[in-house]
Amino acid sequence: MNGPRTGDDPVALWASARVTELLDGQDVTVRLPKYGSAAWRQLAGDDPRRYAATITAAEMWRRFGDEDDLLQWFREAHHARPPLASRKTLAELNKAAKPKPAHQLRAAPGWPPVAIPGRPGWSRHLVNGEQVDLPHNNRSGAAAA
């Protein structure tokens, strides 16, 4: 199943070790009852299979969520994946990763002034059809004093 491999997951390692300890000497060919099922409820309160089933259920919940989530995972896992040939080539990925030219900051008619990145306190205004950089709140077009 998808998810971390047991060897990479300390919680899964702990759960596996506890279940192994609990079932030591038990008939491992007999399947554990599902947590909360009638068979699970019929086990004695101190039966190690009861604890092993509980730990197994908790670990499945931790790794895969509820049953609906697990079923959805199975449905998605069985979907055909696009062939490798349809993916972008390394050259296409490199081209897409190249930096793009910076967006040209422009004030627009009917909109408030735009703050200028890298120039705190300055905004770009549209004054008489021209782009003008002015100190904050100076809309007159006059030079700052």
Residue 93 has pLDDT above 90, yes or no: yes
Q: How far is CA 54 from the centre of its chain?
A: 28
Q: What local confidence, expressed as pLDDT, does residue 18 receive?
A: 92
Q: Name the 3-class secondary structure at 107.
A: coil
Residue 137 has pLDDT above 70, yes or no: no
Per residue in 31-40, pLDDT (tens digit) is: 889 999 999 9
Q: How far apart are CA 140 and CA 88, in angstroms?
A: 51
The percent helix, strand, coil of the chain (3-state, each to 5) is: 40, 10, 50
Contact 47, 17 (CB under 8 A): no
Residue 144 has pLDDT above 50, yes or no: no
Residue range 35-57: average pLDDT?
A: 92
Per residue in 74-90, pLDDT (tens digit) is: 888 888 888 888 889 99
